[in-house]
């Protein structure tokens, strides 16, 4: 299926991959990872418009794109390692966490407290956050290359570095050999009936045009802005 002109279904419902130029055998695995990542980006795009729990309130969260991308990296490494995939994936995940300088739970809680009220709204737990459509206050739209955010004011965060040898995106030579067309769900119809991966930038621009507007005022205040508006700092760490 790597010949020019070939089409086949993607994992995402009703999505279709079209190969525009032959994919060298040495780049098939990286191309598959790129397609998987594209599908994760589309999920962030279309759920921005889904005003329900697990939809808008998690779209483009500050950690989404880095974790999506690193998931494809772990999968690639596990496949290359061979043997039982689950075992290899666990080994590669542990290796990556070590490279990332994973912190103990206490430090994780410290970082989470630092972003509460800035990146995310205060919540009383998982269900409260999941039902709050304005749980996320800031969004990370750095699709390619990946730009991880660091929790502000936390002493150990500035020393965090991207793992050596791990890329921060996919090269144009990889993404230029194929495209993916996604069917737009009714709640995101402002984007049209279909959106191609190559048109992600335009779709994200539509989202940003909403995000930069002011959001709703507190219940006791005057009439505010739109439900999906967060103001000019919407993508600032």
pTM for the full predicted model: 0.93
**Residue whose pair of structure tokens reads 């999920």 in the numeric block:** 43
**53 with 131: CB under 8 angstroms?**
yes
Give the pLDDT confidence score for residue 223 in this predicted structure.
67
**141 with 148: CB under 8 angstroms?**
no
**48 with 31: CB under 8 angstroms?**
no
Assigned domain for 178 exists? yes
Residues 88-142 have pLDDT tens digits of 999 999 999 999 888 999 999 999 999 999 999 998 888 888 888 999 999 999 9
Assigned domain for 222 exists? no
Range of the domain at 65: 7-160+168-211
Assigned domain for 63 exists? yes
Q: How far apart are CA 48 and CA 228, in angstroms?
A: 8
Assigned domain for 34 exists? yes
Assigned domain for 236 exists? no
Q: How far apart are CA 2 and CA 24, in angstroms?
A: 8
Residues 44-97 have pLDDT tens digits of 999 999 998 889 999 999 999 999 999 999 999 999 999 999 999 999 999 999
DSSP of 125-154: SHHHHHH-TT-B------TTTT-----TT-
Number of domains in the chain: 1
Assigned domain for 219 exists? no
Assigned domain for 220 exists? no
Q: How far apart are CA 33 and CA 186, in angstroms?
A: 28
Q: In the β-sheet with 194-196, what is the strand arrangement from edge to edge?
A: 7-9, 16-19, 178-183, 194-196
How far is CA 195 from each of CA 27, 30, 80, 102, 175, rounded to the nearest angstrom? 25, 23, 32, 37, 16
Assigned domain for 235 exists? no
């Amino acid at each position: 299926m790597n010949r020019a002109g070939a089409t086949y279904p993607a994992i995402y419902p009703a999505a279709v991959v079209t190969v525009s130029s032959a994919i060298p055998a040495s780049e098939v695995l990286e191309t598959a990872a790129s397609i998987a990542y594209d599908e994760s980006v589309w999920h962030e795009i279309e759920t921005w418009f889904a005003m329900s729990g697990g939809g808008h309130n998690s779209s483009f969260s500050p950690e989404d794109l880095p974790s999506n991308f690193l998931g494809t990296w772990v999968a690639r490494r596990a496949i290359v390692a061979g043997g039982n995939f689950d075992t290899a994936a666990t080994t590669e995940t542990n290796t990556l966490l070590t490279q990332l300088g994973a912190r103990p739970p206490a430090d994780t809680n410290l970082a989470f407290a630092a972003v509460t009220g800035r990146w995310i709204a205060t919540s009383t737990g998982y269900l409260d956050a999941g039902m709050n459509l304005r749980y996320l206050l800031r969004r990370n739209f750095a699709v390619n290359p990946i730009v991880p955010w660091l929790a502000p004011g936390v002493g150990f965060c500035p020393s965090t570095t991207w793992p050596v040898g791990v890329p921060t995106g996919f090269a144009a030579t990889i993404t230029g050999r194929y495209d993916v067309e996604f069917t737009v769900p009714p709640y995101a119809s402002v984007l049209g009936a279909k959106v191609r991966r190559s048109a992600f930038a335009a779709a994200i621009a539509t989202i940003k045009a909403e995000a930069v507007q002011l959001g709703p005022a507190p219940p006791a205040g005057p009439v505010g802005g739109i439900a999906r508006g967060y103001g000019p700092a919407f993508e600032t760490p």
